[in-house]
């Protein structure tokens, strides 16, 4: 299937959301075929366990609990910028409007088989995509809604319902984790990022309401983290693996082949504080070392990271950009629809934890992006080679690529004008789809000082 130049902006947005998990660039290939190839590879590597979820968790409606950290939180991050061309009241209003639009488009209520209320985040606004939910979206949704408590009077019930849906659809490999796609049919296993964001969202929910309601958010988080640690963290590499379907020492996919956007150092620091487990410090160190190596050896000018990484050889585990079609498509070794989240993840670690290494890594990307776009976010392309060459068919604007740059720009005092321009471009864009708008909303929460570390 070719994406032709005659599609309107809405058509391109729809296509991009379809590509977001299965094909990471707008090149000429059919993403359904990419999916088949991806899951054919997965099926070869899965170790199946008996399917068994926890759909009954929190089935009895509990009390509505008081909100402890109501939106707007209006935090000021240490040594960081905020947009300074609008008042705090305007920033808050912008987030409220974006959230209500996101909620009306993608949040779907349903009743579970046990008769209890569930919620899921739809993979798109319309058509077949609206029937699909991925664990990534559930994680985004849980983090977003928990943060918007105080604005949204139904936030607690929605978070409980989002978690019930996740538990009703466990991975059949490690049932502490969520099936990456519902409905499945392409391998009912996990994807690292969805479970990671779900665990963080559970901590946010516990910080908002405690765990004495219908869902024991803290206990559910601990169980999820135990699954993540056991089934998706490399035992020697200490890097996130792609999912519980990956065997640590297998050939093609193993503990040295991470997705760059899974290197969520901020999440790992929070988990370390929440659990007291030192392993998460090891994971932070391994992730930062991989990012530093990639930026120094392959992206000295741009700082860009590839969608996926591979080891340089069987005996040299230092990372390099993945080969084309490594897992999802021709742009697997480029800065595309996975790696576009990296400036957000790096920036979040810098803002929430004050980490200088992540701040420098994020700012390197943000400064190059400003220069290549001549200070105009709408000129930033939708995907690049690591040397800064635009990818084919990338000549369009998307808030997916630009919003994360806003979070990264907050880490450099010289990027105030760039941050302001990014902020305006994001809040004025209303015609994209699930993936772009979910990532953009999470970035807006940080850009407005409304996202926090739940352990502080």
Segments making up each domain of the chain, as ranges? 11-47+63-447
First to last CA, the chain: 48
Of 330, 279, 292, 286, which is closest to residue 308 (Cα–Cα)?
330
Q: Report the C-alpha gap between 316 and 346 in whole angstroms.
A: 26
193 is catalytic: yes
Q: Which is catalytic among the residues 193, 220, 244, 453? A: 193
Does CATH place domain 11-47+63-447 in 3.30.70.270? no
Strands 133-134 and 117-121 come out as unpaired
3-state DSSP assignment of residue 133: strand
Q: The dihedral of CA 234, 239, 244, 250: what is its sign?
A: negative
3-state DSSP helix/strand/coil % of the chain, to nearest 5: 50, 5, 45
Q: Which two tokens stand for residue 111?
A: 């009743």
Q: Which is catalytic among the residues 31, 94, 136, 197? A: 136
The per-residue pLDDT string of the chain (456 residues; one tens digit each, 9 = 90 and over) reads: 223 322 233 333 333 333 344 333 333 333 433 433 444 444 433 333 333 344 345 556 789 999 999 999 999 999 999 999 999 999 999 999 999 999 999 999 999 999 999 999 999 999 999 999 999 999 999 999 999 999 999 999 999 999 999 999 999 999 999 999 999 866 799 999 999 999 999 999 999 999 999 999 999 999 999 999 999 999 999 999 999 999 999 999 999 999 999 999 999 999 999 999 999 999 999 999 999 999 999 999 999 999 999 999 999 999 999 999 999 999 999 999 999 999 999 999 999 999 999 999 999 999 999 999 999 999 999 999 999 999 999 999 999 999 999 999 999 999 999 999 999 999 999 999 999 999 999 999 999 999 999 999
* Contact between residue 288 and residue 358 where contact means Cβ atoms under 8 Å apart: yes
What pLDDT score does 406 carry?
99
Element at 117 (helix H, strand E): strand 117-121
Q: What is the pTM of this model?
A: 0.89
Residue 354, by phi and psi: left (phi above 0), alpha (psi -120 to 50) or beta? Answer: left
Q: Report the C-alpha gap between 204 and 217 in whole angstroms.
A: 9
| Contact partners, residue 278, CB within 8 Å, separation at least 6 | 272
- Compute φ and ψ for 364, nearest 5 degrees: -60, -45
Q: Report the C-alpha gap between 420 and 82 in whole angstroms.
A: 8
What pLDDT score does 153 carry?
98
What pLDDT score does 187 carry?
78
Q: What distance lies between CA 207 and its chain's CA centroid?
A: 20
């Amino acid at each position: 299937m070719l994406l032709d130049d005659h599609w309107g902006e809405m058509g391109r947005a729809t296509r991009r959301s379809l590509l977001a998990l299965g094909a990471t660039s707008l090149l000429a290939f059919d993403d359904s075929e990419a999916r088949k190839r991806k899951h054919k590879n997965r099926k070869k590597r899965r170790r199946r366990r008996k399917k068994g979820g926890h759909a009954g968790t929190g089935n009895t409606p509990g009390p509505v609990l008081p909100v402890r950290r109501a939106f707007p939180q209006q935090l000021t991050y240490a040594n960081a910028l905020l947009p300074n061309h609008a008042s705090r009241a305007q920033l808050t209003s912008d987030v409220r409007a974006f959230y209500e639009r996101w909620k009306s488009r993608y949040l779907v209520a349903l009743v579970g088989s046990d008769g209890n209320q569930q919620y899921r985040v739809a993979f798109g606004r319309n058509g077949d995509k609206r029937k699909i939910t991925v664990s990534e979206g559930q994680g985004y949704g849980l983090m977003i809604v928990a943060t918007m408590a105080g604005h949204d009077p139904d936030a607690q019930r929605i978070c409980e319902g989002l978690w019930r849906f996740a538990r009703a659809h466990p991975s059949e490999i490690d049932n502490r984790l969520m099936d990456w796609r519902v409905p499945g049919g392409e391998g009912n296993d996990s994807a690292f990022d969805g479970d990671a964001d779900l665990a963080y969202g559970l901590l946010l929910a516990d910080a908002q309401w405690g765990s004495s309601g219908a869902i024991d958010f803290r206990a559910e988080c601990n169980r999820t983290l135990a699954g993540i640690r056991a089934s998706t963290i490399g035992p020697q590499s200490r890097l996130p693996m792609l999912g519980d379907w990956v065997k640590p020492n297998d050939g093609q996919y193993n503990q040295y082949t991470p997705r760059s956007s899974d290197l969520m150092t901020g999440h790992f620091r929070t988990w370390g504080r929440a659990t007291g487990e030192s392993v998460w410090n090891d994971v932070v160190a391994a992730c930062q070392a991989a990012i530093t190596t990639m930026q120094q050896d392959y992206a000295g000018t741009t700082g860009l990271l590839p969608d996926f990484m591979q080891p340089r050889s069987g005996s040299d585990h230092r990372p390099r950009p993945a080969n084309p079609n490594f897992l999802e498509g021709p742009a697997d070794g480029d800065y595309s629809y996975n790696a576009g989240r990296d400036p957000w993840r790096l920036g979040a670690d810098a803002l929430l934890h004050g980490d200088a290494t992540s701040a420098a890594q994020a700012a390197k990307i943000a400064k190059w992006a400003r220069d290549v776009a001549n200070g105009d976010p709408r000129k930033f392309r939708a995907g690049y080679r690591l040397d800064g060459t635009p990818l084919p068919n990338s000549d369009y604007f998307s808030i997916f690529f630009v919003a994360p740059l806003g979070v990264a720009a907050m880490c450099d005092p010289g990027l105030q004008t760039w941050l302001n321009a990014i902020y305006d471009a994001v809040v004025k864009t209303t015609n994209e789809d699930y993936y772009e708008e979910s990532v953009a909303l999470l970035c807006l929460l940080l850009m407005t000082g409304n996202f926090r570390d739940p352990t502080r």
